[in-house]
Structure formats: C-alpha cells, structure tokens
Structure 1
Amino acid sequence: MSYPPEPWHLRGQMYVSLWMVPRAALPPPPQARPLTVAGRGFVGTAWVDYGPGGVLEYRELLSAVLVRRAARPLVSIVDIWVDSPASRDGGRELWGIPKELAELDFTETRARAGGIAEAHLATGRRLPGRWPTRFSVIQELAGRAKVSPVRARAAVRLAKATWQVAPAGPLAYLAGRRPLLTLALRDFDMVFGSESK
C-alpha cells in the first residue's frame, strides 16, 4: 500500500471559501441530493497546504457541495486535485474521493492549480481561540455510499480570496462568481476517516 491507513492525521494551512451557485449549475454529487435554498446550492472550495506533523505532506485544491441524505446534512467532494500520488491513491481507494494529480503552487498571498484556477489571498483579523469543527463526507465507493467523519481544530482568521477560474475548465461553474465568505484556517489539526475495526 502506497498510502497510510485511515484515519489520516493531517496538519497545515487552509483557505476555505463559501459560494452559492444556481442548482442547475451545480456538479452532481454522488449518493445524495444538493441542499438548496431559493434554488441555489452551497459550494465550498479550499486551498490546502498539508505540512509537517501529519501522515502526508502535499497540496490540494478541492470543491465540495453541501448535500442531504434523509435529513442529515453532509459534504460531498466533487472536484479535487493534489500533487501527491499517495494522497490521490489513498483518497480514491479508502473513501471514494475522486482525486486527480495537478501542479499546485502556493505562497502566502497566491495559490494556483495549473489550467484550473488561481486565487489571490489576504488574511485579516484573527478570531479568538482555536475553533473545533466536525462534519461527515459522503462519497461513492464500490457503488455504495461511503460516509467518513472529519474532525479538526484551527486558529481562524477572516480572509479574502479573489479567484480567477478557467471558464472552460473543470470548475467552470464558479467562473465569474465571487465567494460569499473566505476564512483562513491556520495551523489546523485534522483527523479524516475512521479508526480501523
């Protein structure tokens, strides 16, 4: 096996943006229906730099849709690129996350995924404390729904992300749009997946 077993303990830096996208433009999530309000769905994007202290070090760009299965809200990752074959293989085989390889370039003020998107980034005021979060990701693995828990804690800063999305690329549903909100999650600790039984 070229990747660690689940759960993955990861650490790093992240910029998360929240968007509202017309339902007709949403990419179809597997195994669940988009959660919509007034004909619009919620999309989250993240630029992530997984650094030292975790089981893998790599960079990532992802897009996820907020969905519901029965009455339960979940997150479904619909587009994702990494610069690590181990992350790609583990994401696909453990959780059904459709990871692809891409060239990703990060600095303090800019993130770029070649031919897909780039963003200019700026951080603002830090919110007090370290903020915990818990949610579950639903994907399709071997034709069935795979639900995986995610737990994280991070220092949170208000932020701004100015995106340029390739209009004919895989994130075209975000081209010409602006995120409603962007947060910087600093020095996060994350556990993705379940303990082996």
Structure 2
Amino acid sequence: MTRYPEEPWHLAGQMYLSLWLVPRSELPEVAHGTRPVGVAGRGVVGAAWVVYENDSVLHYNELLRAVLVRDGLRPRVCITDIWVDSTASMAGGRELWGIPKEMATFDVDRTAGVRAAARTAEDALADAVFEPGRRLPGRWPLSYRVAQTRHGRLKTSPVRSRSTVRTARARWAAQESGPLRELTRRPALLSLALNDFSIRFGHAARGPAE
C-alpha cells in the first residue's frame, strides 16, 4: 500500500487557472447529490496546472478540471478529472477525499511565462501557455469546500488558501479524443496566475463523510 500524509495537507506553490462557461450537455459527471451551478444554461468549469513545491507536504505536478456545483443551496467545487505525477498524492487523494487522481507525466517550463504539457502512458492530455499580466495588490484569501463521491457517498472537504494574483493570457490545446477536448473548443472566460499560494486541504482529523 502506498503511504501518504494524513489530512490536512499543507501545500504551497504556483497555480495557473482558466475558467470557461460550458454548455450543460458537455459537462462531466459531478459528485453524488450535487448539481452544476447554471449560468444562462451553461456550467462554470475550471482547469488548472499546479506545481506543489517549497513547504508542501508533497512535491508534485498536477493538471485538473473542476466544475462549480451546489449541494442544496451551498456552492461547492467538484474535481471531475485530475492527473498527478506522485503515487502518494494519487493514493491519498482517492482514499482521503474521493478525488479521482490518475497518473501522468509532466513537462513544465517556467523560464518565460509558463509552458506546461501532460500525458498519460497512452496519449497526450493537454498543453498550455500562460503569459502573466498585471499583479493585483495584496494576498488574496479564499475558502471553499470540495465535494466528491467517496465510497458511494458525498464527501465534502474544506480548503483554505491565500495567494498573490496576476491576470494572465492563456492558450490551451488538447486531444480531440481526450477528456479535456471541450475546453479547447472555445476561449477561456478568464485566466489567472495564483503565485506563491499556501493551501490547507482537508479536516484536522478524520471524521465521517459529510
């Protein structure tokens, strides 16, 4: 059995995020008991490249897609697709929170802006270029809950983060036959670089699924 840290995980690093409005017919399946938040018949979808480094409990790369959902009237974030290059992260994400992590290999170049690519053993997943823009003043706090299906039940987990924020321009590409193909069929609504973030993910102690 792969060993992984107990929750909460304290993570730090860099995130490069884009947001889209996607037709409801193209949205992936979300967590049991939740529904996508609708905006004029569309859902809010985010995709991000993440580099966990510095003081993170684990160091690894990540590519994810998430959907803004609601649990009753409460907004949540549901991670529908996610790849990492750490077996400990994959095992911990699945068992602790029901996050469906898969393995991939990554190529991330941060020498001039950000260029990132990820592929599984079978095929390419996606690649993207982020060109950072203006930095917004201060460090921005954000608290939310991630909602996932774990052992057939809804599991929600708290996330608290703080980061500097830059506007960004992003170009995404993905295999037409791949899971992220919908995100490259239309331009992103908004792209951001969340630099030098710190995240506390999960409960202080394990408890029953919420």
Residue identity opposite 2:185 in structure 1: G
How far has the Cα of 1:173 moved from its partner? 2.2
Residue identity opposite 1:27 in structure 2: P
Q: Any gaps of 5 or more consecutive residues in structure 2?
A: none
Q: Give the equivalent residue in structure 1 for 2:190.
A: 181
The answer to whether structure 1 residue 85 and structure 2 residue 78 are counterparts is no
Q: Percent identity, aligned pairs only?
A: 56
State the distance in 2 between where 1:8 and 1:178 align: 33
Q: Give the equivalent residue in structure 1 for 2:116.
A: 111
Residue identity opposite 1:90 in structure 2: G
Q: Secondary structure at the match of 2:75?
A: strand
Q: Give the equivalent residue in structure 2 for 1:56.
A: 58
Q: Aligned residue pairs: how many?
A: 197
State the distance in 1 between where 2:187 and 2:28 align: 17
How far has the Cα of 1:175 moved from its partner? 2.9
1:165–1:176 contact (8 Å) kept in structure 2: no
The answer to whether structure 1 residue 170 and structure 2 residue 179 are counterparts is yes
How far has the Cα of 1:177 moved from its partner? 1.7
State the distance in 1 between where 2:91 and 2:60 align: 13
Q: Deviations over 1:132-179 (max 9, x none)?
A: 000100001111100000000001111111001111001122232211
State the distance in 2 between where 1:136 and 1:100 align: 21
Q: Any gaps of 5 or more consecutive residues in structure 1?
A: none
Which runs of structure 2 are paired with 1:137-156 in the superposition (5 Å)? 137-156=146-165
TM-score by length of 1: 0.98
Structure 1 runs of 4+ off > 4 angstroms? none
State the distance in 2 between where 1:90 and 1:189 align: 19
How far has the Cα of 1:52 moved from its partner? 2.0
TM-score by length of 2: 0.92
